[in-house]
Amino acid sequence: MSSEKRGKFLLVDITHNDTKAILIEENKITGKSKSPTTVDEPTLDVTRGVQDAIRQIETAKNIKITTKNGVKQSVKLLCSSSASGGLHMIISGESAQRAALGAGALLIDTFSKDDKRPPYKKIAAMRQSKPDILLMSGGTDGGASSQVLEMAEIIKRSDIKPRYGTEYNLPLIYAGNISIQDQVDGVLGENGYALKMVENVRPLINRENLGPARESIYDAYMEHVIIHSPGYTKLAEWTDERIVPSQAMVGKMLFEYAQQQGVNLLAVDVGGDTTDVYSVYNGVFNRSLNAGIGLTYGIGNIVKEAGIDNVLRWLPSSFEERDVRNIIGNMMIKPHEKITSEERRIQAAIAREAIKLGVNGHKAIAQRLKGVVTERTLSDMFEQALEPTLLNMMKTQLVVGKGDAFKNQTIEDSTMILLDSLQPEGVTELYLDPENMAAPLGNLVDHDRLTALDLYGDSLEFIGTCIAPRGELKTEKDALRIDFEDADVSHVFKYGELTVVPMKSTEIGEAQIVPYRLDVGAGRGKTIKRNIRAGKLGLIVDTRGRPMTRYRQTVRLLPFEALGRES
């Protein structure tokens, strides 16, 4: 934790169910509370839930934060929200898609030069969409213009109406070829849209510039979207900062944390009706969202997309398909009731499939920029031909799990969800965000980056380091040997096992990992050295193979003191 003392902040994050308040004084969390969100009937005033959460902190600390008009001037109020049903957007262009997703949007339709729909179908789709914001891009600066102007004409003819406040004009952000801004304005400027011009999201063929578009999305979200939810006009008067989408702040926090740690990071967030995947690879941030894929209202969609057999493979053989289907139906009808142990196991199985679906969809978003020519070695060309996406589990050093998928699970079951769904390779540290602190602390980043990073690191629960080789062998064959050099201990792990090594200390030190005909990051059969840390569970050695074929798995506990002493 940094020793420099900083300001006083009150962070408020509003989700559909809960309103969280966090008080930060002198770069420490000194108060934390949670209250039911009050944006729906019968209250219909989001500030009631905010006030309830703040009062809990005031009572616990015997202090006064609130005033008649909000909070004291000595406390900076920062609000994020996902309670208004999300940020619904339609976009035009590949880079616009990444900008919108990174800003926390739920994309209800996309239009691009590769879209094969005839104009009349595009117009019909746009008219039916009812978005909150439209983001339009296309062409590099000084480059293509005809397709961009053609799309502008289609948007003009569509006369798209906003989801809320139909008496207002739909916010339309143009982030394309800046050399034709005047022409775009001539088509769309006086045709029922609140048009705003920003810098191009793709100014050059080999460079993206997503920041200005995202900032403009935040402004439009504040001015045109969230203001229509009950009580948000009053809440906006309590702070001189924008109320921002929670999902965008999660992404901001994860990106900053990955940059600080110098790692490639993958995070999965499974909620009630959506599954979000965030990644940072080589400093490039991406977010994807699977709408309708979640553990309450979206649970049936997971079964439909993944298939019931893929859900059943994670459950004991005593679970009958008919019973599982009935339990899933009950969980959809009564999503917020306390779940039984049987329902918890089914939820864990479905969470695995939700994450797998989310990650597969994320691969299409986390791609290298199209049209960019790079110099590559022969090995690079082979790897890129096999893996066109940036997402690479062998090159992922840090994984974070958050959301409803882990809320009702033990740390052991949460670990299995991550291992089975993501199948990490090489050496990967596994974490949980049990209190969902990424959104409120992400909102703090622009005001006090060091405190936000310190507190987020403290809030994460370190499960442990996973060592998992890529490749397949016959069961019971020697898979790899780990030499723990500081402890002068060596142990051989068999193929087809999942071993947890509990530790008394978090620091293991440098270890030499010697794979037998498998790959742990340097190539098949090649040794690597890594500094290994043990987490709450210890060290995890997963030799079930990649791709994994053994689903129902007994975990073997092997205390560190027993390593190298087995026959």
pLDDT in tens, 270-313: 988 899 999 999 999 999 998 889 998 889 999 999 999 999 99
Domain 8-83 sits in CATH at 3.30.420.40
Q: What's the pLDDT score for residue 229?
A: 87
Distance CA 192, CA 159 (A): 7
Q: Is the CB of residue 102 less than 8 Å from the CB of residue 284?
A: no
For residue 204, pLDDT beyond 50: yes
Please tell me which residue, 350 or 115, carries the higher pLDDT value.
350
Residue 302, CA atoms < 13 Å, CB-side half-sphere: 36
Q: What's the pLDDT score for residue 167?
A: 76
Least confident of 70-79, 161-170, 218-227, 516-525: 161-170
Determine the number of helices (DSSP H) and then strands (DSSP E) in the chain.
17, 25
Q: Edge-to-edge strands of the sheet including 133-136?
A: 105-111, 87-92, 133-136, 170-174, 193-197
Mean pLDDT of 549-555: 77
Beta bridge partners, 106, equal 88
Q: What's the pLDDT score for residue 564?
A: 72
For residue 183, pLDDT beyond 80: yes
Beta bridge partners, 543, equal none
Listed by start position, the domains of the chain span 8-83, 87-228, 243-468, 471-567
Alpha carbon of 375 to those of 10, 34, 207, 265, 381: distances in Å? 49, 52, 16, 25, 9
Distance CA 291, CA 420 (A): 22
Query: 160: which DSSP letter?
Result: P
CA torsion, ordered 157, 162, 166, 167, to nearest 10 deg = -80
Give the class (CATH, top level) of 87-228: alpha beta
The predicted-structure confidence for 322-350, as pLDDT tens digits, reads as follows 999 999 988 888 776 688 999 999 999 99
Distance CA 265, CA 277 (A): 11
Q: Is the CB of residue 424 less than 8 Å from the CB of residue 548?
A: no
User: What element of type H or E holds 428?
Assistant: strand 426-432
Residue 360: Cβ within 10 Å count: 14
pLDDT mean across residues, the chain: 90
Query: 180: which DSSP letter?
Result: G
Express as a percent the part of the chain with pLDDT over 70: 94
Q: What's the pLDDT score for residue 380?
A: 46
Distance CA 281, CA 392 (A): 9
Q: Is the CB of residue 280 less than 8 Å from the CB of residue 254?
A: yes
Q: Is the CB of residue 393 less than 8 Å from the CB of residue 427?
A: no
Q: Is the CB of residue 148 less than 8 Å from the CB of residue 192?
A: no
Distance CA 466, CA 106 (A): 33
For residue 228, pLDDT beyond 50: yes
Residue 465, CA atoms < 13 Å, CB-side half-sphere: 17
Please tell me which residue, 5 or 144, carries the higher pLDDT value.
144
Residue 531: Cβ within 10 Å count: 12
Three-class SS state of 156: helix
- Omega of the bond prior to 42 within 30 degrees of 0, cis? yes
For residue 8, pLDDT beyond 60: yes
Q: What's the pLDDT score for residue 370?
A: 60
Distance CA 538, CA 29 (A): 28
Paired tokens of 10: 């009150």
Q: What's the pLDDT score for residue 390?
A: 87
Mean pLDDT of 61-90: 88
